[in-house]
Structure 1
Amino acid sequence: MNMPTLDTASVRIIAAEKDHLARNYLPLPVVIASGEGAWVTDAEGKRYLDLLSAYSALNFGHRHPALLAAATAQLGRVTLTSRAFHNDRLGAFATALAELCGKDLVLPMNTGAEAVETAIKVARAWAYRVKGVAQDAAQIVVAHGNFHGRTTTIVGFSDDPSARDDFGPYPPGFVAVPYGDAAALDAAIGPDTAAVLIEPIQGEAGVIIPPDGYLRAVRESCDRHGVLFIADEIQSGLGRAGTTFACDREDVVPDVYVLGKALGGGIVPLSAVVADEAVLGVIRPGEHGSTFGGNPLACAVGLQVVEMLASGEFQQRAALLGEHLAGRLDGLVGHGVTAVRVAGLWAGVDIDPARGTAREVAERLAERGVLAKDTHGQTLRIAPPLVVRATELDWAVEQLRVALDA
């Protein structure tokens, strides 16, 4: 995508970032200045349909009125207390989220990576204190192609070179198996295994949907061997896959939910680990925490998110609009697209290399007023806010068709 040659506001903003911002991202040259619903507007006033939703953090769209109202009301009262004290929003949020998940306890954090790290610590403590695994011997089974965050522990069990290379040494304690291979996962579980940690749908890998029955098989393996099933629902959960959680697609309930992104309504960072007392109760005072975790502003927004999900409206929209989107995208297969994978309102579109890389297609889409993101070279991810309209999806797919033909 060619940058404008004029001395526009966007050019100046991007130049300032280039001079003073660490280069850990390579964003499309679009400078977003405002947003509403499924649309954003750049610094020059051009509008774009958002098909990324900040990697599912904006499931409810930009500036959803109910979420803004909850945040604004709390901003006028108190925003941070730390967990050294109680606050009047935390209990209500924890109760509502526990009920949504069908679990006993909630441990709030801020980011998805923090929540995954928390789940790892909980699983290890459970292995030592409940299962009786020898100290420092606990193992966690993970899947190839995973993306659970970018901390040094997490990238240590990633097989993505861009996430892993040059950041070692890495801690032991993880065994990786092919994603979707239930037999390999079962075979990897041993007497020292504390947990299985997987994404019910792998988002960063390109919206990779496991074979039907895989999640049920994982649940059965964990039950048979006496290990925890940890589901990383940070991207796939909270309505994105057409159900409250992606695990619901197979009527599977994990022992531990790891949540984030959309939990903060696209307004504040908010994540959580949710499990029953028998699991999450192993954490004792002083063993884990966060200054901002469970802050009243995040809890006020998170409570509103949970209340919005309780109606089922957003899950239903994702399911119905996802079927609509799948029908439109399927028409592109053989016409610049080699494969399409859709789960709820979430799609991975594999671009024919003859039409360019997924990055190049994303740049052409941006020129046509549609924002999407590439991953792993040839895959374009589509994840619009759940408030998008069917007619807007139709228009976006038409812009994709034109971009593929360009």
Structure 2
Amino acid sequence: MGFLYVVLIIYATLVGKASESVSAPAMFVFGDSLADSGNNNYIPTLAKSNYPPYGIDFPQGPTGRFSNGKLAVDLIDHYIKGRITLCFVAELLGLPYPPPYSDPSTNGPQMLPGVNYASAASGILDDTGKQYMGPIPLSKQINNFRETASRIFGLFGQNVTAMNDYMSRVLVIMSVGSNDYLNNYLRPDLYTTSTQYSPLAFSNLLVQQIGQQLLALYNTGVRRFVVYSLGPIGCTPNQLVGQNCNDRVNQMVVLFNSALRSLIIDLNLHFPGANLAYGDVYGIVSDVLINPTPYGFSVSIQGCCGVDTGRVQWNCIAGIAPCSNRNAYVFWDSLHPTEALNRIIAQRSYAGPQSDIYPFNIQQLASQ
């Protein structure tokens, strides 16, 4: 009974602190390497980034984040919880960000401020990324969330009222789908999807799957969602044609994003009591790539770290020093953003206009 009392006090404090600005006691993250905070460190997969120079600008060094520093979801978590709450959580639980679900130490009250389920190389489809062995697909991430919810319910002493209140306030962030193209549809040497589906049919298949997973989350009691579009994958260093964006790939991405935006609009009409936002990463990143100078960037067609193009074609070579002017680079390796670009994505989706995130931004969503 004493332990339950402590848990409820922690939850009440989180809600109270957060309500000074917004009302979201927890953030749960789903997705791929753009959101993975270290889950792949604990599973048998080849898709890892827990070595230098990854994390060169992150306080804890290489943690499994695919960037030089913070991810967009790290920065959004900071904005949502506010400096006061963030310091409170860090002091009380030692968790400045939602911890990776796969980390064995992630348990008990540590889960109350949120958990990260994202897994690098994973996708919407279970088969995506199989060549990397073992990434956690979106469907499995949702199942892991159900397990977390069950454990949190136990922390609340099976108190249905407290649990329902908690679940209705938490924020879900989802950023997934890039690998369904990069490590599935665009790899006919390994997958048959490009012969089975037209680009339009494939985009519809992916978005239908996302809709099913969002429904599964809704049925657990979650009511606040942010679902990010895919960025302009064809403009990443990995996909460039010479020094130009791969228009064929970007056209596929646009089909997916259009279907996803329509899904979010539809679910807002058909999920009673729920609020879902569509984050336009494609538009935000395209703005930067079209006119990088006002954002402080001078390099947008190559990654900051050294990449072995003959082997894996995307990740940093271990032990090779990256560029020194990292804030000037849009991309960290040949696929992933630098912290500087992640910060722009986080800022514009947190407080931006409807052209960046629709129909409301994260600040508005978390305050409802």
Task: Return the structure number with greater strand share.
Answer: 1
Higher RCO, 1 vs 2 (CA within 8 Å, ≥6 residues apart): 1
- Give TM-score scaled by structure 1 length: 0.27
Task: Return the structure number with greater helix share.
Answer: 2
- Give TM-score scaled by structure 2 length: 0.29
